[in-house]
Copies of this chain bind each other. A is one copy, B any other.
């Protein structure tokens, strides 16, 4: 049960870091959520940074798994990119409450000048690269694909931030529609 227990701790920490932020979440918070004593905590993780590291590793692994699933699920690059866009809708209720898990963690770590910032940014890079690959398959040059991937990421981030600020679910749906229109336009303008 040791693996499962550790996994349980990381999962709760992941949730709390997302919902409350890293800085605000203390050992006591996590320990209480996992129902273990504060002291016992130190057996599994010997510093707060170590938990953060584990949480980021977990997110990276989950993201990898998700991207792989999309790769199988979507039967065209366009459909796969749609999977990416749709997470805004799928996770909308959480986004309204807590914002984007990616963006909020990254910006918090950036402010704290935390050493794990680079690892957190790897999450962004993962999406960036994957989106780029899909776009290359669609016929864009690697450079064009990367530019479009960054644009997609930025749009998603902005949508999440504003939806969070104004607690506006309709805004998400509206912008998702615009994002799809924009993407189709880009694909249409490809030389064939």
- Minimal Cβ-Cβ distance residue in B for A106: B165
**CB neighbours of A158 from chain B (8 A):** 153-159, 161
Given contacts A107-B99, A112-B24, contact A161 B165 (CB under 8 A): no
Q: Does A19 contact B (CB under 8 A)?
A: yes
**CB neighbours of A19 from chain B (8 A):** 111
Q: Does A133 contact B (CB under 8 A)?
A: no
Determine if B154 and A175 form an interchain contact, defined as CB atoms under 8 angstroms apart: yes
Q: Does A162 contact B (CB under 8 A)?
A: yes
**CB neighbours of A150 from chain B (8 A):** 162, 166, 171
**CB neighbours of A111 from chain B (8 A):** 19-21, 24, 98-99, 104
Q: Does A34 contact B (CB under 8 A)?
A: no
Q: Which of B110, B164, B174, B175 contacts A106 (CB 8 A)?
A: B164
Q: Does A108 contact B (CB under 8 A)?
A: yes
**CB neighbours of A121 from chain B (8 A):** 165-166
Determine if B99 and A161 form an interchain contact, defined as CB atoms under 8 angstroms apart: no
**CB neighbours of A20 from chain B (8 A):** 111-112
Q: Does A84 contact B (CB under 8 A)?
A: no
> Contact string, A21-40, partner B, CB cutoff 8 A, digits 1/0?
10110000000000000000
Interface centre among A110, A121, A124, A154, by most B CB within 10 Å?
A154
**A107 CB, min distance to chain B CBs, angstroms:** 5
A24 to B109, CA, bound (A): 11
Determine if A107 and B166 form an interchain contact, defined as CB atoms under 8 angstroms apart: no
**CB neighbours of A107 from chain B (8 A):** 99, 103-104, 107, 161, 164-165
Determine if A175 and B151 form an interchain contact, defined as CB atoms under 8 angstroms apart: yes
A-B contact pairs, 27 of them (CB 8 A): A20-B112, A21-B23, A21-B108, A23-B23, A24-B111, A98-B111, A99-B107, A99-B111, A103-B107, A103-B165, A107-B107, A108-B108, A110-B164, A110-B165, A121-B165, A124-B165, A150-B162, A150-B166, A153-B158, A153-B162, A154-B155, A154-B158, A154-B162, A157-B157, A157-B161, A157-B162, A158-B161
